[in-house]
Structure 1
């Protein structure tokens, strides 16, 4: 998403107010008042034909009469005048505009659509950025800018708040003022005619004034852009979101398949999780979570230790922790021994750790130190209940001093109101997160747990095709194409099983026939026992009308059963036409779990895979979770872990654990099928038997439709681009593989970085870089392929592992106007043509993406890189003032 000219929106040097007015409560009057009462230092120029002056400032009759070209304009006129003003402003060179107020919302849909189209086209022609329409405007306190309809200003801070809701804009602003919370930016998006969540996230992700980003989301327009921008920003700073849940209906476009409201909400939930965003349920939680995540270190695990001077309050906090999905740390033996020496009213070494009600500062200090030294404790929650003669402030000072000496997370909650106000102030001054109640403290800890887990999911970049998986894609596509050619939009049972089999999903052998005689012959070939089902185009589920018989043991029994099944169906559905029968091997697996695996097309986020408890009670139990493809084994396991049946799959009573790897593989196969055959809109496997022997599908329902989209285009997250892998030969004839980097390359990349000389690193990083650790490899190997690319050259070792020989990487601007590259090759590989192979591959790639310019900077002594760039057609220019060399190649003028 383009961030072009967004600086003019959030940090303009001059502002024009189109439709400025002296009329009380009018948008033109409120905006003028807010702009002039703030700290904005640039000129504010009111434009109106009716008043000589507005708010004491002389007005201008039209845009053409303005003395200077405004950086940004706030348009407060009726919608019918908006396109014309946008053209005039664009012609003058204005770079951004806010279309403020509810004017567009009052129009009939046809008129509104026409005006929005004309407005957008006019702005697009001149490269102007538009915020709104139907928005409350924005406030950027660091720039002294209040270009909004707000009733008050926002204090300066490091939190950015972005909302789709007008009412929440004013409510949160009022609430934050009373809570002493400041903002870097406070933004109302309105109808997102141009500037949307993705554009704002891209801007805020690199904004030095913003340390955390808070969102209120009702709906997402462009899932791919949103996910890409959110994933990029979430790598740098915490993002938290509120979204109305699945209980209130929301507007959604026409859907390819019917979605319950809770399904739609669960898709948003998993999208936020994959983007590294923490979802919260209240405004309090939003800001508490933001402040906690900014002020504290990231958790290295989920283990929480609770320390309190009251057993009940400690147990309540522990219960809230476990209920919310947190983990109570299992204290080590050394920790137990250390705690045993501290005066306690509870069993020493238990978690929660309960001190005596009148425990002093020294007891708290000793207990905290013991807990912080425990390797299983990632965070400590310190609770204090006020008692007479107990020096709360002294204890707070001791806790704050102890916390200042550790990098681990410590949260506090001093219960009480007025009596412990001073203690909470001590924590705030020391930068220690403190909360009014234990529930809020536990909630903040759970936000941190969610953030940590989501950051792990954020780094997953699964293959577009799993390794060692070779489906018969042509067969699956042929079956689907045949159905569509016959204008059928639901595959037959046999066709559905054929599609599954083509993708390696084990299915029960099934055949169809026209008569009972043929059914007996087929049953004898398959082997008894068998199941017999009636076939009828009017009966999608034969078992509902008695058209199924299981465990048929003999030919004689089958002869008797066949006509009785037909009679049953006709009693329930006299109009049903019977095509024949389906004969199926009995797929009984004693003790096997009945699972559900499905996939559907969400109208916003594209293909979604669903997993859960299957069988006849699937719709009653409603134990399912969803995920966005593509999946790998770890993402598939994470999906399974979010269901209740996951506990049973690990083994229950005498039953052995199910083969979870085989279940994961099935999930991967189904998601790959949805990618490879985009005509599939809905797929259900129910039941999928799973036990220690693997999985077995009894059948499936598959719906199809015509589409012009390719499979990868439908995905909200771009998969690993396996199609970009290619073999190449060096000057000495040896072969290397050039391919995109992937998360699994972290160990080999760490060895590669360690092999580089200090001079190599100095030239690459413009100075002496710090010593790299393995943890740093995540930022190198886990990338968003929509906006970054890194090609590595690898060679296989005799051990079967591969080694990294060189890497070239680019970072592309969100608007794809330019990409900056960097390249480095291992010392023993220099002079063999590897650098040229890598850079040529990158040039081909960025050119194919439509990127206009590829550029780089290096130090003058990096003769190898400068010479290579010149040979490949780069324009090289030396900046003697900054002592750098700039290289630039125009790819797509």
Structure 2
């Protein structure tokens, strides 16, 4: 199996250390790795006379990791000496001596990294800790405890502060890394590794600035799709623009991550991430031994927050009343004033967890000398980890309850010091669930009923650009919108309804951002929400309903028909800015509803100077943070006998047809493809193959039209072939998968699907494509040989064959590229 490029950083087998001072790695490294460490004196490294043979390094093999801590003026000579060992990764730790020109040092490190095919962390790096492997490649004197949360930061000081806090509460980590200056290893690369790391269940990320938006988007989505990703983002100069800040928030929602705003929330997030239970909604029940704590928690909850107070069922209130003393409060929050007992606590939690209107329970306890808190906490420690719904606890105080919080932490259920932090932790869990729903909407579903006239729209823009105009006339704007069938007409205001506004602004990092809010107001006061294209119907509805303007005004005045027109308008505007990247901004303001129709008093489109001769579909839609559905790949083709079929990228709604396709395969075909006798795909596999991130993978289907057995006289689309590739861990190549329906084999489908897959891999800059094929699967091996693939025995399994194709060699090969 290929190692990820960062495996040499997080799991090195051979290590060289060049440092002018003692480092923690020398005191805490286990014997197994200690025997594979070579200490190279700084003077020898600077002179270039370091030994050629390193401990544990086989002749001809590359060094996994070099750990460097030297004065800045010695760094070039040391790196030059390390070249002879061809290291996979280098960590350049911060040094007490400061560089005279930090930017020049950073540029040098990046250039050295590229020239030597080596990933460099630093300069001025905090380093890396891998607690379960007892590895401490940092200056921090204390190695973190092992745990399941990975900490990734762009700041050495934040990493040190979090480690110090975690030591106090005995919280562990799967990995700790600060990328700092991002010499060659950036946040996206680290997220890629951690998304596949079996030791990591969740990731806490501290960001000071975002770089390479598309790569970050893709990596964050890959990580957040399999484990919670919490992001603390501080302000940067661009954040003075409210659109940029809102765009970043929208980006995190779309990838399924959760943004937090304050440093103290980072501790809450890390602590709550160890909890394996996630709420499926926002409705929280509160239990307290006094109303003060409950009031404080409710102050940070509400319908506009991530979580809010649940309305308990009548039966639940009656059962709780029977458990508590007379005068207790039984309508959420549940408040008892009598000394708590373990039995009462279990009884209340049983009722609340069973209530269908409750998504989670927050237990708030203040010190009570009359109560046996020890037994109550022991009961909570037994109940909470096994509960069907998340239970979060707040034990207020410190001197008498600190030990009790540690009991709950050790049991795997988070316990907090303040009601606000506990309520906020619940909000983080609920926001994660909501954002995961948004992440599943990355691609638009079925194409819009009326396809746009993209060529005419681009012609309108090119005509204005040729005349040196970067603002379209009202007539040109109307024509541009009509090309995409946007259901908005230019006209006069006819009533007194509050005006709406749809705006598009292009952010330098996140590309086009679509906002919806109140009309004739600046963005800051427009009660607006922002979303990133591409939009589908669900995302367009969420954009409207997330705005304060909807919540405060429109929800009571907008008719269902007008709402549907508004949803469709947003969806089609999303398509417009995806296919016409020269649109720098778009203003539809004010926008009114007249007899359920949408009428705009003012339309304005401003253009960028970008040439429309460079088509976004051939350059990977680089002007957007999220790759849209590649409609340009939809092609009608013919089989050898003339039968027409459709080649297209897969869509999320193809899950059911793909499942039917797999079920219809013969046992032999299923075994040849999956090397097992599974009869259908699991829900996770279905989601994996149909919700595609087109920045890093591709899934194509071959379909035909056939009579629909469930709707007489209608046709349906049936999948008869499937091809897929996913980037390999090394970042350079991709592994393919191909399966053709039994009735459609030997019709030329397989070669056409593979050629389309190869073309797409070449366009993405991949250098090879490979796969594992059973040695007995002669038809597949024959097809791969025909397409120019090389066939090698698999070193780990003699029954398998590794087939691979050098894409550089095939870029001009006529029999490979159709």
Matched residue, 2:813: none
Distance 1:658 1:151, change over 3 A: farther
Take 2:155 and 2:198, find their aligned partners in 1: how far apart are those partners? 26
Take 1:756 and 1:436, find their aligned partners in 2: how far apart are those partners? 57
SS of the aligned residue for 1:49 comes to helix
Within the candidate set 679, 683, 688, 1:779 is matched to 688
Contact 1:651 1:657 in 2 (8 A): no
Take 1:626 and 1:362, find their aligned partners in 2: how far apart are those partners? 48
Within the candidate set 707, 720, 738, 1:823 is matched to 738
Take 2:410 and 2:240, find their aligned partners in 1: how far apart are those partners? 48
Matched residue, 2:229: 239
SS of the aligned residue for 1:37 comes to helix
SS of the aligned residue for 2:23 comes to helix
How far 1:840 sits from its partner (Å)?
A: 4.2
Take 1:425 and 1:749, find their aligned partners in 2: how far apart are those partners? 48
Contact 2:148 2:202 in 1 (8 A): yes
Distance 1:632 1:345, change over 3 A: farther
SS of the aligned residue for 1:198 comes to helix
Matched, 1:62 2:48: yes
Aligned residues: 783
Matched, 1:713 2:618: no
Matched residue, 1:549: none
Distance 1:705 1:685, change over 3 A: same
How far 1:758 sits from its partner (Å)?
A: 6.2
How far 1:689 sits from its partner (Å)?
A: 1.5
Take 1:301 and 1:11, find their aligned partners in 2: how far apart are those partners? 38
Matched residue, 2:214: 224
Contact 1:3 1:202 in 2 (8 A): no
SS of the aligned residue for 2:300 comes to helix
TM-score, structure 2 as length reference = 0.87
Matched, 1:807 2:716: no
Contact 1:360 1:395 in 2 (8 A): yes
Matched residue, 2:498: 593
How far 1:218 sits from its partner (Å)?
A: 1.1
Distance 1:331 1:726, change over 3 A: farther
SS of the aligned residue for 1:609 comes to strand
Contact 1:269 1:279 in 2 (8 A): yes
Take 1:174 and 1:697, find their aligned partners in 2: how far apart are those partners? 57
Distance 1:479 1:131, change over 3 A: same
Distance 1:242 1:710, change over 3 A: farther
How far 1:450 sits from its partner (Å)?
A: 1.0
SS of the aligned residue for 1:820 comes to strand
Query: Which one has the largest radius of gyration?
Result: 1
Higher mean C-alpha deviation, range 426-435 or range 267-276: 426-435
Take 2:595 and 2:278, find their aligned partners in 1: how far apart are those partners? 38
How far 1:640 sits from its partner (Å)?
A: 1.8
Matched, 1:470 2:448: no
Take 1:752 and 1:171, find their aligned partners in 2: how far apart are those partners? 53
Matched residue, 1:621: 525
Matched, 1:49 2:16: no
Take 1:233 and 1:161, find their aligned partners in 2: how far apart are those partners? 13
How far 1:620 sits from its partner (Å)?
A: 6.8
Gaps of 5+ in 1: 22-28, 51-58, 253-258, 510-584
Distance 1:705 1:651, change over 3 A: closer
Take 2:522 and 2:325, find their aligned partners in 1: how far apart are those partners? 50
Take 1:96 and 1:631, find their aligned partners in 2: how far apart are those partners? 40
How far 1:227 sits from its partner (Å)?
A: 0.7
SS of the aligned residue for 1:160 comes to strand
Aligned residue runs from structure 1 range 656-675, under 5 A: 656=559, 659-675=562-578
Contact 1:343 1:363 in 2 (8 A): yes
Deviation string for 1:401-445 (max 9, x for gaps)?
334543322222233434434543442343222222222221111
Take 1:371 and 1:713, find their aligned partners in 2: how far apart are those partners? 49
Distance 1:344 1:698, change over 3 A: farther
Distance 1:752 1:328, change over 3 A: farther
Matched residue, 1:728: 637
Deviation string for 1:280-320 (max 9, x for gaps)?
23344224323423422333333322233434433443443
Matched residue, 1:684: 587
How far 1:448 sits from its partner (Å)?
A: 0.8
Matched residue, 2:60: none
Take 2:677 and 2:381, find their aligned partners in 1: how far apart are those partners? 36
Take 1:332 and 1:762, find their aligned partners in 2: how far apart are those partners? 51
Take 1:775 and 1:693, find their aligned partners in 2: how far apart are those partners? 42
Distance 1:128 1:775, change over 3 A: closer
CA RMSD of aligned residues (A): 3.3
Take 1:272 and 1:309, find their aligned partners in 2: how far apart are those partners? 37
Higher mean C-alpha deviation, range 423-432 or range 448-457: 423-432
Matched residue, 2:151: 161
How far 1:215 sits from its partner (Å)?
A: 1.4
Matched, 1:452 2:433: yes
Distance 1:853 1:501, change over 3 A: closer
Take 1:376 and 1:807, find their aligned partners in 2: how far apart are those partners? 42
Aligned residue runs from structure 1 range 323-338, under 5 A: 324-338=305-319
Take 1:768 and 1:465, find their aligned partners in 2: how far apart are those partners? 32
Matched, 1:397 2:390: no
Contact 1:479 1:495 in 2 (8 A): yes
Higher mean C-alpha deviation, range 80-89 or range 804-813: 80-89
Contact 1:808 1:823 in 2 (8 A): yes
TM-score, structure 1 as length reference = 0.80
How far 1:826 sits from its partner (Å)?
A: 4.6
Contact 2:773 2:803 in 1 (8 A): no
Deviation string for 1:149-186 (max 9, x for gaps)?
33544333332222222322332232222232223322
Matched residue, 1:274: 254
Matched residue, 1:13: 13
How far 1:447 sits from its partner (Å)?
A: 0.5
